[in-house]
Amino acid sequence: MPELPLDRHVVVCSTDSDDVSGQFARELPAHRLEGNTEDLRLNARLHAVRLPHIVALYLAYGCEVRSSYDHTATSVWIQMPVSGSLRMQVSDTEFVCTTGQASVTSASGRVAMTWSHDCATLAFRIERRALEDELESLIDGPVEQPLRFEPVMDLASERVRSWFAIATSFTEELNAGSGLLEHPRVVTHAERLLLRGLLLSQPHSYSALLRDELPESTPWHVRAAVRLLEDRPEHSYTAVSLARDVGVGARALQDGFRQYVHASPMQFLRGARLNRVRADLLATTPATTTVADIAHRWGFAHLGRFAQYYRARYGESPSDTLRASG
């Protein structure tokens, strides 16, 4: 058998459903198999390594199986298939993860999964507080609203692909043992690299504050306005109402955006909405929703103009994106 990720850290290797359910639940709280487990032909494996703020895992069931867990807001959970496919249902959103697409679960709620018979995943459970500490350091300000990641991690993105390569190398070093990651000071820096890399590569509710065009000298009222637009892009803002929300005049806000964001507040809002639309289109299928439903959800009232904006930004129509995701 070829080497498996973290194969020096086996928690369970079993064909017994009770044994598998019990051991998996110890590492993955509230995790459970669905349906009649007596009929399953399991050949399950769970490997795990615990670090101060991250748990690295390798999971496989060895047959097609359905499982679920109740995700809590105390952690962020990433699953990256290394073989097969994993169908995810998070609240009302459903999407399929393959070797080119991973999932990021950051909000509380029930998560249901259907594993293909050949599916195996490399996973990371990350302590939310540690992520938020790194985020506060990066934005030089408090994390006042929940940190929410886009649920689909697309490995076609250069930054995401780079993060995935670092994460994979990290697990290989952990598995090798007797290396620098045995040293507490080194593992702390390695963890921070993973945490910061995730914050800088995977889109989330604070991404705008981490973009290169927002220098350290950006005034707080501009940062606050950007955060509002990223957190609630579906809201019906105007330049005047946005300025009032952050406690400055409309002219001051317009000037601040022009200087530090290189766009007007409403142009920035349109981009934030388009990002949310694209994430939803990639995370669903034509059988469960329509382009119009998603566009309206994020504040686009005129579908013709929305389609023009979308094509200009992403080089394809929103309907093409939705069809490809299905």
Q: What is the pLDDT of residues 88-135, one digit of tens each?
A: 988 778 889 998 889 999 888 888 999 999 999 999 999 999 999 888
> What pTM, to 2 d.p., does this model score?
0.68
Alpha carbon distance 54, 130 (integer Å):
9
Alpha carbon distance 164, 177 (integer Å):
20
Alpha carbon distance 89, 97 (integer Å):
11
Amino acid of residue 182: E
pLDDT digits (tens, 9 = 90+) for 170-184: 888 888 876 777 777
Q: Considering the chain, what percentage of its residues have pLDDT values greater than 90? A: 40
- In this prediction, residues 3-15 reach a mean pLDDT of 89
The secondary structure element, H or E, covering residue 38 is none
CA distances from 205 to 135, 149, 151, 178, 208 (A): 11, 6, 12, 38, 8
Name residue 126's beta-bridge partners.
Answer: 54, 76
Domains and CATH numbers, the chain: 10-129 (2.60.120.10), 131-201 (no CATH), 208-325 (1.10.10.60)
